[in-house]
Amino acid sequence: MQGIEKSYGDLHVLRGVDLDVAPGSIFALLGSNGAGKTTLVKILSTLLRADAGAASIEGFDIATQPADVRGSISLTGQFAAVDEVLTGRENLVLVARLRHLKGAGRIADELLARFQLTDAAGRRVATYSGGMRRRLDIAMSLIGNPPAIFLDEPTTGLDPQSRAEVWSCVKELAEQGTTVLLTTQYLDEAEHLADRIAILHEGRIIANGTLDELKRLLPPATVEYVEKQPTLEEIFLAVIEGAAE
């Protein structure tokens, strides 16, 4: 994409955004609330029209070929778009049928197994944990095998264990060839997952590179011996895993 701009009256949300996401990679768009991350995702997914600039996804122009773009992507928003009245399997079967795919039951069962939800397939989604709902949400977005998926702050509001579950799912997507554009305000999420990271600030990309490249933007660190203490998140996950054994 080149020169993407978007304004609402006098409010300039995007001020000329340039990005290039490599196929099969995880690209993290990092920024605080109000930086313009969700607006950019909506433009790329053809839900909004840019005021200026151009972008293409899988070779399709977002402005002149929106139907082809929508057929090449899937979008998972900040909140899981699942039907709590239905079971996990019923949610997947419903989406497969809406996409007019043959073998909806087989597709559902394969995705349930892929996302470790087989044991919960017959339960109503209202009984699922936050992490399970998000995993189901991502599974639903993969029906039809889109080559690219947009994850807009996928771990917002999740506990540490659920975040770890979602991170594992995202890594698996890229390993199987899916291009992932991930927006997040969590620094550790971008650091843990992304092949490349761009920092969006006040509508502009102010840094873009691998984690190592971004680290080189700062002065070399002073080497000191410090005993590393576990973080609270590490303690939490260890205790939970121990209790499950």
pLDDT tens, N- to C-terminus, the chain (245 residues): 999 999 999 999 999 999 999 999 999 999 888 889 999 999 999 999 999 999 999 999 999 999 999 999 999 887 778 999 999 999 999 999 999 999 999 999 999 998 889 999 999 999 999 889 989 999 999 899 899 999 998 888 888 888 888 898 899 889 999 999 999 888 889 999 999 999 999 899 999 999 989 888 877 767 777 787 777 667 667 765 776 66
Number of domains in the chain: 1
For residue 239, tell me if it sits in a domain.
no
For residue 229, tell me if it sits in a domain.
no
The β-bridge relationship of strands 2-8 and 11-17 is: antiparallel
pTM: 0.83
The β-bridge relationship of strands 148-152 and 73-76 is: parallel
For residue 146, tell me if it sits in a domain.
yes
pLDDT at position 108 is 96
| Selection from 61, 74, 155, 143 nearest residue 102 by Cα | 143
Q: Which domain holds residue 160?
A: 2-221
For residue 19, tell me if it sits in a domain.
yes
For residue 232, tell me if it sits in a domain.
no
For residue 22, count CB atoms less than 10 angstroms from its CB and return exposed for 0-12, middle for 13-18, buried for 19 or more.
exposed
Whose structure tokens read 């029906």? 143
**CATH code for position 188:** 3.40.50.300
- Residues 82, 77: Cα–Cα separation, whole Å: 11
For residue 228, tell me if it sits in a domain.
no
For residue 244, tell me if it sits in a domain.
no
pLDDT at position 112 is 95
